[in-house]
């Protein structure tokens, strides 16, 4: 492992000083028009009653510290053997089915072997937006891009079409879809967001994303709003390098509108590797920024309700906006210390090293144990895992 950069050491020190007192979030009332959480979506924080506290303690008590930390990881797998190994050996909280995954795992009984190896229910996640971001098209068919969808069908028609695809995904064993993309964009179709955006009108984005979320939740799949605080007008592609977006006041008027309207929908939120002038520290993208996590948790900074659901990162190992700055071990520590609940990356290669680093972070006080516990409980609620009392 290479030496941790000075900027990260400074950021981690600042986070520990500022955030060691708890999870930093609170549950607020849903936004107007928001739907109640369905099976497979975030159900909010643990009850504050003594019975609720006992339930939480009982759930947490089944894990070692290392296993708690593993519950906060979602990793890409190549197929059944890879998935079975990482779940059996490390008890990660989720696996990710990507374009490189042998999809026979979803159709030949392999996934059942994998889920049976998990101590608690396993998230089986994918990117299924339609258009050019479709990991399962060979199994469930194709769907138009978000931009084409908004141009060719009503949101009610989209809801009906999404129900059909959601049922097909559930039948394969998928539990969470990293969608909808609620970026607001007028950029060309083939740009990094482009036709992945429903529209350059925040109201249109909100309408179609709401239809998508309702359909997915009706079937029992979890959804994830992305890419907070808004990638639609970024200066580049975070897969290739650093991306700067507009300052927060401009984001609030445009890019953050769909997040504000949908934050109470029961969806999780994915934070992007985005530099926000006046909000993020130079060289520290949103995905590892305590200021961005606080903006999302508190809500008041962009006119939204507080958010106490699950915060995912965008991919931490395959995007130069983060890999040019940090190793995977450093990036996972930084994002969890900053306030994210779940670190996503696209391979299983470094899971052991990441967990070693996280255990060191807990032992040294950089990552407070109460923060870990809060994230483990959020993940359990998002997966709708009952807490035995």
Residues assigned a catalytic role = 239, 314
- Measure the CA–CA gap between 245 and 256, rounded to whole angstroms: 12
CB-CB neighbours of 32 under 10 Å: 8
Per-residue buried b or exposed e for 247-281, using 16+ beta carbons within 10 Å of the residue's own CB? ebeebbebbbbbbbbbbbbbbbbbbbbbbbeebbe
Chain centroid to Cα 20, Å, comes to 22
Using an 8 Å Cβ cutoff, are 255 and 182 in contact?
no
Residue 79, judged by CB atoms within 10 A of its CB (0-12, 13-18, 19+), counts as middle
Using an 8 Å Cβ cutoff, are 376 and 60 in contact?
yes
Using an 8 Å Cβ cutoff, are 192 and 184 in contact?
no
Neighbour order of strands in the sheet with 268-271: 311-313, 268-271, 222-228, 176-177, 123-126, 94-97, 73-77, 343-345
CA distances from 166 to 71, 161, 182, 320 (A): 25, 9, 18, 32
- Measure the CA–CA gap between 358 and 54, rounded to whole angstroms: 26
**372's tokens:** 């870990």
Helix, strand, or coil (residue 344): strand
How is residue 181 annotated by DSSP? Answer: B
Residue 49, judged by CB atoms within 10 A of its CB (0-12, 13-18, 19+), counts as exposed
Using an 8 Å Cβ cutoff, are 230 and 202 in contact?
no
How is residue 272 annotated by DSSP? Answer: P
- Measure the CA–CA gap between 161 and 308, rounded to whole angstroms: 30
Using an 8 Å Cβ cutoff, are 192 and 237 in contact?
yes
């Amino acid at each position: 492992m290479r030496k941790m950069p000075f900027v990260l050491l400074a950021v981690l020190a600042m986070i520990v000083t500022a955030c060691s007192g708890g999870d930093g979030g609170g549950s607020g009332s849903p936004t107007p028009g928001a739907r109640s959480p369905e099976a497979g979506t975030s159900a909010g924080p643990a009850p504050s009653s003594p019975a609720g506290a006992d339930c939480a303690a009982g759930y947490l008590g089944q894990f070692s510290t290392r296993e708690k930390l593993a519950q906060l990881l979602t990793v890409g797998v190549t197929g059944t053997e890879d998935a079975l190994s990482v779940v059996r050996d490390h008890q990660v909280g989720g696996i990710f089915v990507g374009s490189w995954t042998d999809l026979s795992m979803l159709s030949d009984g392999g996934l059942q072997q994998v889920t049976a190896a998990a101590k608690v229910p396993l998230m089986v996640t994918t990117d299924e937006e339609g258009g050019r971001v479709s990991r399962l098209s060979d199994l469930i068919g194709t769907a138009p891009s978000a931009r084409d969808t908004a141009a060719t069908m009503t949101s009610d028609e989209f809801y009906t079409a999404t129900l059909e695809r959601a049922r097909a995904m559930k039948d394969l064993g998928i539990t969470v879809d990293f969608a909808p993309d609620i970026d607001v964009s007028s950029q060309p179709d083939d740009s990094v967001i482009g036709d992945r955006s429903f529209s350059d009108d925040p109201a249109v984005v909100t309408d179609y994303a709401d239809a998508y979320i309702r359909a997915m939740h009706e079937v029992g799949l979890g959804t994830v709003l992305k890419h907070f605080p808004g990638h639609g007008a970024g200066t580049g592609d975070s897969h290739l390098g650093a991306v700067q977006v507009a300052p927060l006041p401009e984001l609030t008027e445009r890019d953050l509108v769909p997040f504000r309207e949908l934050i109470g929908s029961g969806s999780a939120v994915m934070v992007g590797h985005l530099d926000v002038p006046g909000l993020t520290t130079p060289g520290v993208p949103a995905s590892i920024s305590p200021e961005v996590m606080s903006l999302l948790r508190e809500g008041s900074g962009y006119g939204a309700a507080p958010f106490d659901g699950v915060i995912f990162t965008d991919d931490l190992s395959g995007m130069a906006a983060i890999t040019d700055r940090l190793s995977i071990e450093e990036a996972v520590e930084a994002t969890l210390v900053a306030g994210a609940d779940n670190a996503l990356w696209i391979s299983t290669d470094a899971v052991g090293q990441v967990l070693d680093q996280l255990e060191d972070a807990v032992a040294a006080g950089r990552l407070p144990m109460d923060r870990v516990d809060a994230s483990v409980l959020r993940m359990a609620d998002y997966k709708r895992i009952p807490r035995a009392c």
